[in-house]
Amino acid sequence: MTLLTDEIMAWVGSTDPEVTVEVTRRDIQKYSAATEQQAQCYLDGDEAPPMFIFNLFTEIPTMDELRSDGLARRRGGGPSLPLKRVMAGGTEIEIHRPIVAGDVLTSTRTLVGITEKQGRTGPLIFTEYHRVIVDAAGEPVMEERQTGIAR
């Protein structure tokens, strides 16, 4: 018996609304300092480190939206899975060009797959998202494949 219902599987192929942000030198500098970057181009804000995009397109939660562990409560965007403990399963990034101050970037994220597997301690559900980031001219900047694991 599978945990993946037709309702859950219907989400495959769905795309979140596009999100557009403008990158500032100060954004890059703050992120670089917070993540203890060593390269001067990152610290000066000339170029963003690759993982800069990790939360770039996420809305900033209010205090009421935070759980007791400090993480934001789920805001939708994808199916509600029957397994509630979610872990990162990996991220692959393809960089087409560096992100620089002044870039206006648009992100499109699509759920490209949901699979169920049996683990040692029970069932696991894998979700795979593909994010495409383009600049104001529509030129590709970066692509990300992100896997989540629910158990």
Total of domains in the chain: 1
**pLDDT category, 86, cuts 50, 70, 90?**
confident
Question: Can you give the pLDDT at residue 136?
Answer: 97
**CA distances to 87, 88, 94, 106 from 143, in Å:** 21, 17, 5, 12
Q: Assign residue 122 the CATH number of its domain.
A: 3.10.129.10
Q: What is the pLDDT of residues 8-40, one digit of tens each?
A: 999 999 999 999 999 999 999 999 999 999 999
Percent of residues, the chain, with pLDDT higher than 90? 72
Residue 1 lies in a domain: no
With contact defined as beta carbons under 8 Å apart, do 77 and 16 qualify?
Answer: yes
**pLDDT category, 134, cuts 50, 70, 90?**
very high
Question: Can you give the pLDDT at residue 75?
Answer: 57
Q: What is the pLDDT of residues 105-115, one digit of tens each?
A: 999 999 999 99
Is 101 a residue whose pLDDT tops 70?
yes
Question: Can you give the pLDDT at residue 66?
Answer: 80
> Which helix (H) or strand (E) segment is 29 a member of?
helix 25-34
Residue 79 lies in a domain: yes
Residue 20 lies in a domain: yes
Residue 44 lies in a domain: yes
Q: Tell me the whole-structure pTM to 2 decimals.
A: 0.83
Rounded Cα distance, 134 and 106, in Å: 5
Residue-range definition of the domain harbouring residue 42 = 6-150
